[in-house]
Each structure stands twice: as structure tokens, then as C-alpha cells.
Amino acid sequence: MSVKIFPALALLVGHALAVPSPSIKIGRASAQAFASTSDLAYKLSAVDAPVSGAGNPGSASQWSLRIDDTTAGYKQTITGFGGSVTDATVTVINALPSDQRSQLLRELLASDGANFSLLRHTIAASDLSGPPAYTYDDNSNNADPNLDNFDLGDRGEAMAELLTEMKGIRSDITIFGSPWSAPGWMKQNRVLTGDATDNWLDSQYYSQYAQYFVKYLQAYEGLGVTIDAITIQNEPLNNQGNGHVTMYQSADEATMVTQDYIGPALRAANLNTQIWAYDHNTDTPSYPQEVIDGAGEYVGATAWHCYASDLNWTVLSDFHNANPDKSQYMTECWTSPQTSWYQSSRNTIGPLQNWAEGSLMWTLGTWTEASDGTFGPYIEGGCSTCRGLFIVDQNAGTYEYTVDYYMLAQFSKYIPKGATILSGSGSYSYDGYSGIQSVASKNPDGTRTVVVENTFGNDIYLTLNTTGGEQWSGNLLANSVTTWILP
């Protein structure tokens, strides 16, 4: 890392006004650059492209990065980026007029839009569902050992139909599902919400729990959408009472249920659905390791969240070194007016630097902010201040994107499914997360993408050197994420 920092430098003036980002020209012989800034003066906007060579930094602060664009530097292959289709997302999308709704879905999924290619969906209720909480076999909370009363219900069908429509827009999208709880009658405490005591599976219903997944997958398939993967429990170490939908699941139980019940049940039903382990924070990597050690034949990946108090994405590199044949994904990170402008970029770039094959923020959509500072729809005890990547004004019948959407789209729009992440060096953040972080990819069309997050309050002149013998340089706007597309 070579750095010359002048923290007092103000945001330079004189840049061209932000303009909408044009479509990338595949095979283009010259470089391109696009940027989004914290104040949204730039939103995926075309900016001055990097130049070949050292350029002219003048008196600007300078930074150097290096990428290995030779085959020796090839790392993981990208599955995609996106967010979670919660009940809140379904509700707000379906509230839009048909023309706005169609436009929104295309902008989210198409290659000339955000190019999202990885989606998580909630299996029945989550904290971002309108009340009441529900599962696909509540049966008035009476035991249903044969699952005779399994029923997606109106909300489950609406979810499946929206996912089918989204897959119709983008056929290669990867979709995985996560439940917040088993039906209440399957749990020791016999309730879906309201009591954290004995809030875990009753062992006599392990077989029914496995068949619950089979029936859900088959029901969604019947409505036109194949679910590619599941996690068997969202945040298994998060055990809450009140109205929040949760269920505790220990690592040894998750291992046993995966190995002896869910894995075999999926296989017996001829379902090719992957199981991804864990779906929780980076501070307990022993949990997914135990699941892989005991049920690895059924587990294809590990899913991580961003909520560890001492968040350190290098845990994923350690985990990769121990399990090089297993994929990893960052599957949840909330966005809100309470989070920083770089919430989605920081929690995408960190996982990508450490072998993640994709990154998702929490809910795709919510309502606009209410007068009491809440968004929603949400369930009592759920996340009332979670804000979507887009927000819908129900009265106006319109939608708008948040800063979190634009920062995530700096990756998703320009690092396509099938791209290969490259080794790199030179990223560094000071205390308080001021600094430069970057990740690069080699794309299927032969181009290279370099995404750089600048969390300094001043412009930075960046020089990028490649192992292949090239040098590129150009300006990074203050408090921005900038994407370079190199030929």
C-alpha cells in the first residue's frame, strides 16, 4: 500500500454533473467508470474513466492498489447480489400500479438495471411480515403429524407467484429460502411467538419438520418457481420472545436434523435443493463447522450475517481454508436510516475479499418512512426501522431507491454472475472505517471490474497496478463507491 493522505481536502468542485449510467458496451476497447456518492448527487452515474498509466494526480491525495489478473489470482466464482423478498417486499410491490410494478421488477433484475441475480425469500412469516405471524401448517396450533393441513395460504401463494414472475424476468436467478420458525405445534413450547422458553424443536417432530420443507418446495414448484437452496433456520442462535418469530437450534441439533432427516427427505423426494448451513453471525464459526463435519454430504454452503459485535469478515477466509469445497454467502445485513451510507458496500466488499460468492442485504422493499420513524410492514417485536433497498409510497403509487440500493448496485450491475474474483492488495481502513477498500473481478466477457469504496471525506487519486503488467489511474469522489470497467 502506498498512501499520501490529506484529510482536510474538501470534495473537489468542477466535476461534470451526474448523469444516468448508460448500458455497458461489452467488449469495449476503452475503460469506463461509474460512481454513486453518499449524498446521491451521483447515482450509478458515468464519471471520468481511468487512464492508462500514471495520469496526473496534481495535489490530490493518492492511493495505490494492486490486483492479480493472471490465472494465479483467480478466486471464487460469483453467484450474485440482491436482497430478501420478505412479506413486506411482496406487499409493497403488489401495492404499486401495474406499470410502476413492472418497471421496478425490471430495474431490479435486468442487466440494464441493478442486475440482481441472488435472492433470499422468507419461508412463511419473518419479522418483516404484517401481523399475524404464520407458517404453512399452523392448524390452529393443533398437532398435524401427517401435514394434512399444509397450506401456503394467501401470503405464501403471493410470495411464490412473485418469485415465479421474477424468475420469468431473469431465468438464471438463484433463489434460496429461510424459515424463521417451524410451526408452533412442532416446538417444545407449542407456540409460534411470544415465549422464548423451550423455543426449539420437539424431537418427536423431526420427521415432520423435514417433510415440511419437502412440501414447501413442491408447493412452490407447483406454482412455477424452483427454489435452489434452503437454510433450515434463520439465525438459529437468536432466541426471542414477545412477537418476534424465532426458533433456537443448537449446532448439534442442526447437524443431526440435516444428516438424518432433512437431507434424506429432500433426496427421497428427488429434490436437488442445496442446504446452506448456519445463516447467522461470524462470531460463532464453530457452528457451521460442526454442521459440515457431521452432515457435509448434504451441505453445499455456509450463510453468514453481518451482526457480530466485532465484525471481521476474515473469518470467511479462515473458513474457506478449512473447507475449500464449500461455498459461502453473506445472506443478511439490515439497512436503515440508522446505518451508514456504506452499509451495503462495506458488507459486500468485505465478504467478497474473503471468498463469499454473493452478498445480500435484508429486505428488498418496505413502505416509505412513517411519521413515527417506522417502515414496515413489520410484526410486533420485529424490525420497525428496517428500510428496504427501495421504498414505496402507497398513497402516491410510486417507489424510490435508497442509498443502500445504489451502493450495492455498484457491485451487482458490473460484476456479473459467473465472474471470478481476483486476488488484490492495498485496501485499508483506519479507525472509524475511513479508508479505501476494493475488490476486482475477471468477467465472462474478458473485461475486468474494479469496485472501490472511498470512505474519506475528500477525493482520492487512485493508481491501480495489475500483475499482468498494466497500470490505470483516476479519481475517486469523496464518500463514494466507484466502479471501473477495464478492457
Q: Which of 235, 290, 357, 453 is an active site residue?
A: 235
Joined together, the cell numbers standing for residue 79 give 453467484
- In whole angstroms, give the CA distance from residue 210 to residue 263: 8
Contact between residue 219 and residue 160 where contact means Cβ atoms under 8 Å apart: yes
**Three-class DSSP category at 135:** coil
DSSP annotation of 189? T
- β-partners of residue 398 are 393
Burial of 260 (0-12, 13-18, 19+ CB in 10 A): middle
- In whole angstroms, give the CA distance from residue 180 to residue 382: 12
**353 phi and psi, to 5 degrees?**
-65, -15
- In whole angstroms, give the CA distance from residue 267 to residue 271: 6
Contact between residue 484 and residue 449 where contact means Cβ atoms under 8 Å apart: yes
Q: Which of 107, 253, 290, 332 is an active site residue?
A: 332
Contact between residue 104 and residue 85 where contact means Cβ atoms under 8 Å apart: no
The amino acid occupying position 249 is: Q
- Give the containing element (helix H, strand E) for 101: helix 98-109
Instruction: Check if 332 is active-site.
Output: yes
Instruction: Check if 453 is active-site.
Output: no
The amino acid occupying position 113 is: G
Contact between residue 107 and residue 114 where contact means Cβ atoms under 8 Å apart: yes
Catalytically active residues are 235, 332
